[in-house]
Homo-oligomer: A and B are copies of this chain.
Amino acid sequence: MSRLDLSVTDDEAAPQGPLRRVMLLLAYDGSEFHGFAAQPGAGLQTVGGSLGAALTRMTGHEVAVTCAGRTDSGVHAAGQVAHVDLSEEFLGGRPDLDPLIRSLNRQLGPALAVLDARLAPEGFDARHSATGRRYRYLILVSTTPDPLLLHTSWHRPPPLELGAMRIAADALVGEHDFAAFCRRPPRYDGPLTRRVLRAGLSVQPDGRLWSFEIEANAFCHRMVRSIVGTLVSVGEGRLTAADMVSILRAGDRSRGGRLAPAGGLTLVSVSYPEELVPGGVWRPAG
């Protein structure tokens, strides 16, 4: 075999032969990563970059990772869904992906876990097939900080007006142009229409941890954190629930609240059509 032949099995090589799409269920501690999207050459650890690099090493061909929700730096996931295209030669035709899961988890380290893996059904795309995303944002409402919740919640001193925040959250449900709560993509002037299926605040039994859950067909960039920042302003009395409605209608980002910090936010789960994912939501086995 000549040197030239060897070069096509280099780590960076394009895959040779047929590919099979594999879907992955992921959980990660976002505080250990600079977001999901791979940033080649930037020297930053990202979720997609780490996963792609491990699979590239294992398969001998370049592997790109596509996910349902591109979480920002510091944002966590409990049920992120991604897909990768792996050579059939590597997969060896076996339906049991447990050895792949174990091997990935050994390489990736404890901040990123592959919870499950499946051969994807025909036509599945982790991002474009997804019909819904559910996020949770935790607010620690307490006079004192909690070092153990530092990376997973936003600490706000009481009082926060729960009733007013709930009325404001209700106003989000339905189809709206969320321009007021989005970082607008470059070179795009159109509407940022998203359909919010549910949005609500629950308070955990000890009264300290408030959980804001929101599900929508899709989210634009920084939408949940902008919404939470504004909801907290409503809770603090600096805005009213009616202001939330008028900010949403006016599409004026400058009138919203602060951007809530990334650490409070977790991508909980992703929904797909029943024919692609039985039950509609892929959850860890438990």
Contacts and interface: CB of A to CB of B under 8 A. Distances in A.
Interface of A: 27-29, 32, 76, 78, 105, 110-113, 115-116, 142-148, 150, 152, 158, 207-208, 266, 284-286
30 contacts: A27-B144, A27-B145, A27-B146, A27-B148, A28-B147, A29-B148, A76-B147, A76-B148, A78-B146, A78-B148, A105-B145, A110-B150, A111-B147, A113-B144, A113-B146, A115-B144, A115-B145, A116-B144, A142-B284, A142-B286, A143-B284, A143-B285, A143-B286, A144-B285, A144-B286, A148-B152, A148-B266, A158-B286, A207-B286, A208-B286
A144 B266 CA distance: 17
Contacts of A110: 145, 147, 150
Given A111-B147, A113-B145, 8 more contacts: A28-B147, A76-B148, A110-B145, A110-B150, A111-B150, A112-B147, A115-B145, A143-B286
Copies in the complex: 2
Contacts of A76: 147-148
A130 B113 CA distance: 42
Contacts of A27: 144-148
Contact of A29 (B111, B147, B286): B147
Contact of A150 (B29, B147, B284): B29
